[in-house]
Chains A and B, each alone.
Chain A
Amino acid sequence: MMSLNRERSSDLIQGTLDMLILKTLARGRAHGYAIAESIHQRSEDVLRVEESALYPALHRLELHGLLASEWGASENKRRAKYYKLTARGRKFLGAESAHWNRMTAAIARVMETA
C-alpha cells in the first residue's frame, strides 16, 4: 500500500490512503503524480505513495463514484488525467476525517496514559 520511510505499513494505515487522496483533491483537481507528490511534501517526506497503490486506489475511488476524472493539459502542456472530488467524495471525506480524528485522539490518549 503505502510505506512509511522506515517501517512497513501496519493495519491501522490500511484504507487511509483513500482518505489522503480525497483530502489532497479537496483543494482542487490534480493528476496522479501531483497527488503523490503533494502527499509526500505535506507529510514532510514521511509518506511516499507507491504508484502500484496509488493508481488502483484512484481507479477504485472513481468506480465508487467518489472521484471523477477528465483529461486535461498539465503545467508543461502535456496531456494528463485529472481527478477531482465528486459531491459524494466530499461527503465521504468529511465522515472519514471525523472518524480519523476521533480515532487518533483516542489512540493518543491511550499512548499518553500508558
Chain B
Amino acid sequence: MNFRSRIQSWTKALLRRSRVEREMDAELRSHIVAYAEDLARGGMPEEEAMRRARIEFGSLERVKEECREARGVHFVEGLWQGLRFGLRMVRKSPGFTAVAVLTLALGIGANTAVFSIVNALFLHPAGVTHPRQVVVERARYLKIGLYNIPVSVPDFAKVRDSRRFFASAALEQDANFNYTGGDYPVDFGGSRVSWEWFDVFGAKPILGRVFTPAEDQPNANHEVVLSYGAWERWFGSNPNAIGRTIQLNGQPYRIIGVMGPDFHWPHPNTDLWTPLALPPTQYSVQNTFNESYLAVARLQPGVTFAQASAYMAVLSKRYANAAIQRFAEASQWSIFLMPFADHVFGDLRTPIMILAGAVAFVLLIACANIAGLLLAKAAGRSKELAVRAALGASRKRLIAQALGENASLGILGVLAGLLLSQLGLHALLFAEPKGLATGMTFPLDGYVLGFTALAGILAVLVFGSVPAWHMSRMGPYHALRESGRSSTSSRGRQNFRAWLVAGELALGLVLLAGTGALLKSLARIADVNPGFDPHGVMTAALSLPKQQYDTPAKQNSFFRTVLDRLRETPGIADAGAGNLIPFVGTNSSASFEIQGKPTPPGSPGPHGDKRFVTPGYFTSFGIPLLKGRLFTDDDRKGSQLVTVIDDNLARQYWPNQNPIGQKIGNGGKTWATVVGIVGHIRFTTLAGEESSSVMSQSGSKGVYYLCIYQMPGTATGGYLIAKSSGGAASAESAIRQAVRSVDPNLPVSDMMPMETRIAASLGPQRFAANLLAVFAGLAILLAAVGLYGLISYSVAQRTNEFGIRMALGARPKDVLRLVLLQGARLAVIGAGAGVVAGIILMRAMHSLLYRVSYADPLSFIGAAVLLMLIALLACYVPARRAMRVDPMVALRYE
C-alpha cells in the first residue's frame, strides 16, 4: 500500500476538498458529454442524446461516493463530519459534555502537571542546551563505602584532557561572598568555576561576557558574572552594572556579565560566579584522592553516555604512580559519569515516577468513566445508528463519525486539562515549602504541549474505542430489534460498563492503599531518632573573609567571642559551632591511620567521616557522651591533640577494645588521642543509606571529631548552633546580635531551626505522599462518579421493573437493598481486585517503604473500608430515587 500517496490524498481531501470535488464532478460530466457526443454522431438529436447519456450514467452522486471511498478520503471526511456533529452534540447535551470534559480534564491535567515537572527536572532542565550531553564526573570507593562523591582536581584533569569524548569540562566549588557595597552586608551564594563552566551548559550571558582562560588564573581572578536574580535585586537591572567594580569579601571584583534568568547552576539559587583560578600545584598527583569539587562536562556531539562511561573505566585505570594504583585497587576506587539531571534531582526521581504512575491511573479511570458515559449514550442512539447502517452507511463511516465525536470531546478536555494543570502547578509551588521547588519553574513549552496532545489522543482512542467496538459488534438487525422495546438495555453493554466501573474502583483502591502505606512509612521515618535533640536548636551559616581573618588566632578568637556572647544571652542554653552540621546535605570524610596498627597490603585502611567542631557542638545538639570526655576549652593550640569518635567508628576499628587513649593520624607526624566516644548521629537522611544528590558522601560510617581550636585553618566558616530553652525562633536574633557585636560587616545566612532542616530532608517523600494523596482522592472521586452514573442509569432503566415489584408488594426498603446490593457487589469485586493488584505493585516497590510491609494490613483494610463507604454513598442517591418510584407512574412509563 502506498502510504504516502494515501496521506497526500487525505490531506488533499481535507485541505482542498472543494477542488477535489470539483475535479471529480468535471471528470464525470465530461464522461457524460463524451457519450452524448457519440450518440449524437450516430444520428440522435443532441438534446435526446444528452438525456439518454444522463439516464444511462445513472446517479452521479453514487459514482462520486464510490470514488471517494476508493480514494480513502471517506474516513477523514467522516471524522470531520463527526467532529462537527460532535460539537453540535456538545452544545445540545451540556450536562453530558460538562461531566465528560471535566473528567477528562482532571485526568489530562494531572498528567500534564506531572509531566511538566519531569520535563523541567529531568528532560529539559532550565538554562541547559542539549541537556542529554551534560554529565557530572563523580568518584567512588566501593571498599570504603563511598559510592558517589565529588572529584579531585587530578580526576577532573583526566576528563578535561579527553577531548575526543568531552567537548568541554569545568570544575566548581561553592563559595560564599560577603558583599559590603549595599546598605547592609549581604551573603551571596557564589560559585567559583573554571572558565569553561558556561560552555558546558551551553549557556550564554544576556549582558556582557563570561570568563576567558586568562582570567581563570591565580591572582587574575577579579571578575564576576552575576545571575539574573542578583542583577535584578542588587543592581536594579541596570545595564550599566557591567564594568562596575564591587567589593566581595573585601576584594575588588569587576562585573563582566549577567546570565539569563533561566541559568542558575550549580544550585537553583546561585547569585554569582567567579573564576576558580586553581594554581598549577593543585593538579599534583598528590591530590588524586582529595575530593572536594563538582566536575561537569559536555559530551562531544555524537558521543553517547554509554561510550563516555566506558571510557571513564579506562581513564580510572590510568594511575599516575604505583602508590596511587595500590590505594585505588585496595579501595576499589574509580571515577564515573552521571547524567547531570540525575545528579541534581536524583532524590526526586523515584517520587516523581510514582506520581507519574498514579496520574496514569487517574487518566485510565477518567477514560473508563467517559467510556461508560458514551456506552450509556450509545444505548440511546442505537436506533439512529441502526437506521443509518440499514440505509447503507458503511461501518467505517460510522466508526469514523463516532471517533470524530470523541475527538471533539478530547479537544475540549485537553484544553480544559491544560488550564487545570497550570492552576495545579501554581498551587503546588505555592503549597510547597521552601527548599524543594525553590527557583524552579515549570514552563509550558513545546514538549509539555506535545505530551498533552499525545495524552489527549491516547485518551480519545481508549475511551472512544470501547463504544465504537461495541457498536460495530452489533448488527443493524440486532440494534433495531433491541431498541424496539424500551426494556432494560443490552445486557452485554451494561455488563461491560459494570466491569469498567469495577476496574476503576480497583485502581482507586491501589492508589488509596499506596498513599496509606507511604504516609505510614513517612510517619515512621519522621519518628526515627536522629541521635541528637533538634528541639529548640537554631543554626546559621557564616564564612570569615580571608583578608580580614588571616591568622588562625583571629579566626579562633572570632568563634570564641561570638559563642561566649551567645551563651551569655538570656534564654540561650548552649552554643557551639562546626564546619558541618547534620541535614544540610553536605558531608566530608577522610582516611586515617591508627598508631601501632599498620594497614595490611590490599586494604584501603581506616576511613571515617570527619568534622571540625567546638566543644559546644555536642552539648548544643544534645549528642550523648558514651565514654571518656568531650572537648573542653583547654583543648587549644599547643595542648595535646585530641579527638572524639562516635560509637560506629569505635565498633568498626576497635571491636571489643577500649579506643580511649588510642592515637589516630593522617600520615603526618602528629597523632590525635581518642579522649571520648559519643553516640552516632544521622547526618543526611533519617532513614536508609546516608546519601544525597548534592555534594555528599555516604555510608552510616563512623565519625571522628577534631577540635576547631586545635586545627589551624579550620575555623574559617561553618555553622553556628544555639540551643534555646524558649524555642528555636527566639535564638535567631541572639545569633544575629552576637555576630554583629563582634563583626558588624559579617553577614549570617541560611538561618534555620534544626527541626526544619530535618523535616526538609523528608521533602521529596512528603511531596510525593501529599501529591499521591491528592491523586488518590481524585481517582476515588472519579470512580465514585462512574459508579454513580452506572447505578443511576440502571435505576432509570429498571423503573418499570421496580414499579412491578412494588405493585406486587415489595417495600421501598427492599428496592433500596436491591440497588445498594448491585453497587456493593461491584465495590467488593473492585476492592478485591484492587487488593491483589496493589499487593503485587507495592511488592515491586517495597524498597520505597520504611518499616512498612508491602501488604500493610492497615493501609489495605483502611483503603477497602473507605472504598466501600464511598461506593455505598455513590449508590445511595440513585437507590433513594428507586425507592420513591410510584408503581402507577412506573407501569405507565413506557
Contacts and interface: CB of A to CB of B under 8 A. Distances in A.
Contacts of B66: 52, 55-56
Given A31-B30, A80-B30, A80-B34, A55 B9 contact: no
Q: Which of the four size classes fits the interface of chain B?
A: 20 to 34
A33 interface: yes
B71 A33 contact: no
Given A51-B57, A65-B5, A33 B31 contact: yes
A114 interface: no
A57 interface: yes
B35 A33 contact: yes
A57 B1 CA distance: 15
A78 B69 contact: no
A59 B67 CA distance: 6
Nearest to A88: B2
A37 B476 CA distance: 40
SS of A interface (majority): helix
Interface in A75-106: 76, 78-81
Contacts of B813: none
Given A51-B57, A52-B58, A55-B63, A63 B27 contact: no
Contacts, number: 70
Contacts of B6: 63
A59 B1 CA distance: 14
B73 to A, nearest CB: 10
A50 to B, nearest CB: 8
Given A33-B31, A52-B58, A78-B34, A59 B2 contact: no
B33 interface: yes
Nearest to A57: B70
Given A63-B6, A64-B2, A65-B5, A55 B34 contact: no
Select the residue from B30, B62, B69, B71 with max chain A CB neighbours within 10 A: B30
A63 B26 contact: no
Contacts of A81: 23, 26-27, 30
Contacts of A59: 67, 70-71
A78 B34 CA distance: 9
A63 B5 contact: yes
B394 to A, nearest CB: 14
Nearest to B62: A52
B891 interface: no
A33 B71 CA distance: 19
B63 A32 contact: no
Interface string B1-16: 1100110010000000
Select the residue from A51, A52, A57, A64 with max chain B CB neighbours within 10 A: A51
A63 B71 contact: yes
B67 A55 contact: yes
A52 B63 contact: yes
Contacts of A55: 27-28, 31, 63, 66-67, 70
A33 B56 CA distance: 13
B571 interface: no
A71 B9 CA distance: 18
A4 interface: no
Contacts of A80: 27, 30, 34
Nearest to A32: B31
A33 B34 contact: yes
B34 A65 contact: no
B121 to A, nearest CB: 47
A75 B58 CA distance: 25
B58 A65 contact: no
B34 A56 contact: no
Nearest to B66: A56
Contacts of B38: 37
A74 B6 CA distance: 29
A60 B73 CA distance: 11
A56 B30 contact: no
A34 interface: yes
B34 to A, nearest CB: 4
Contacts of A65: 2, 5
A64 B37 CA distance: 32
A65 to B, nearest CB: 5
Interface in A32-50: 32-34, 37
Given A56-B70, A59-B70, A81-B23, A64 B34 contact: no
B1 A64 contact: yes
A31 B26 CA distance: 12
Contacts of B2: 63-65
Interface string A65-76: 100000100101
Contacts of A33: 30-31, 34-35
Given A33-B31, A52-B63, A60 B71 contact: yes
Contacts of B37: 76
B145 interface: no
Contacts of B5: 63-65
B72 interface: yes
A113 B70 CA distance: 41
Nearest to A76: B37
B28 A78 contact: no
Contacts of B58: 51-52
Given A51-B57, A52-B58, A76-B37, A63 B70 contact: yes
A56 B69 contact: yes
A2 B37 CA distance: 23
A34 B26 CA distance: 16
Contact of A79 (B30, B57, B69): B30
Contacts of B33: 78
Interface string B346-360: 000000000000000
A47 B35 CA distance: 17
Interface string B29-68: 0110111011000000000000000000110001100110
A74 B36 CA distance: 14
Interface in A1-55: 31-34, 37, 51-52, 55
18 contacts: A34-B34, A51-B28, A51-B57, A55-B28, A55-B63, A55-B70, A56-B63, A56-B67, A57-B70, A59-B67, A59-B70, A60-B70, A63-B2, A65-B2, A71-B23, A80-B34, A81-B23, A81-B27
Nearest 4 pairs of A and B residues by beta carbon: A56-B70, A33-B34, A60-B70, A56-B66
Given A74-B30, A81-B30, 12 more contacts: A31-B30, A31-B31, A51-B63, A52-B62, A56-B63, A59-B71, A60-B71, A63-B72, A74-B34, A76-B37, A80-B30, A81-B26
Interface of A: 31-34, 37, 51-52, 55-57, 59-60, 63-65, 71, 74, 76, 78-81
Interface of B: 1-2, 5-6, 9, 23, 26-28, 30-31, 33-35, 37-38, 57-58, 62-63, 66-67, 69-72
